[in-house]
Amino acid sequence: MIAYARDSAAANRHGAGEASPQQLALYEGPQLLYRPAAAAGAWIEVPFEVKRQEPLRLVLNLTTSYDFGRYQAVLNGVELGGVIDLYSAKVANTEVRLLDFWPEPGTYVLRLQCVGKNAQSEGFYLGIESVRLRERRPRVTEYAHEKGADWRTARTLYR
């Protein structure tokens, strides 16, 4: 399952600043470029739907650049992983793996909340191509390991 961030450019899906699709050679389709002026009040949300309960890996397909900020991922109000530093001297693609879980069917909202910027960065921008739910290996489904675990309290990411 892929939820493209470019579909979340509406004003109710982000905080202070502008958000608009931007085509980069890194991606087949446009990414969403979010341009806040400061960290305060800067956030973006990408909703997605889970159709059936199965083991999945939550992954973000992000851009790094010289004017990008540091963001915290939050899924339905629950912080995931550490702060994601999107600064790099050159524009590049990065994949950030956040969570291995068995989500129940329903609507979820992934929020990226700006928490500042790298000292070398020129800004607080964010480039996000998509939120992805990847299928796990068939044996994970077969063994049903951690199927009953609550991802809100037991956040797991297998390396």
The per-residue pLDDT for range 94-147, each reduced to its tens digit, is 999 998 888 999 999 999 999 999 999 999 999 999 999 987 755 555 555 677
Q: What is the pLDDT of residue 84?
A: 97
How far is residue 159's CA from residue 142's CA, in Å, rounded to a whole number?
20
Question: In whole angstroms, what is the distance from residue 95 CA to residue 131 CA?
Answer: 10
Residue 14, CA atoms < 13 Å, CB-side half-sphere: 26
The arrangement of secondary structure in 2-143, i.e. its CATH architecture, is Sandwich (2.60)
Integer Cα distance of 44 and 18 in angstroms: 10
Domain limits, the chain? 2-143
> Looking at the predicted structure, is the pLDDT value of residue 2 above 90?
yes
* Amino acid 23: pLDDT: 92
d(CA 38, CA 116): 8
Query: In the predicted model, what is the mean pLDDT of the chain?
Result: 90
Enter the tokens of residue 91: 């524009």
Task: Compare 136 and 60 and report the one with higher pLDDT.
Answer: 60
| Single pTM value for the model | 0.89
How many residues are there in the chain? 159
**Alpha-carbon gap, residue 125 to 146, rounded angstroms:** 36
pLDDT tens-digit profile of 9-29? Answer: 899 999 999 999 999 988 889
Q: What's the pLDDT at 139? A: 54
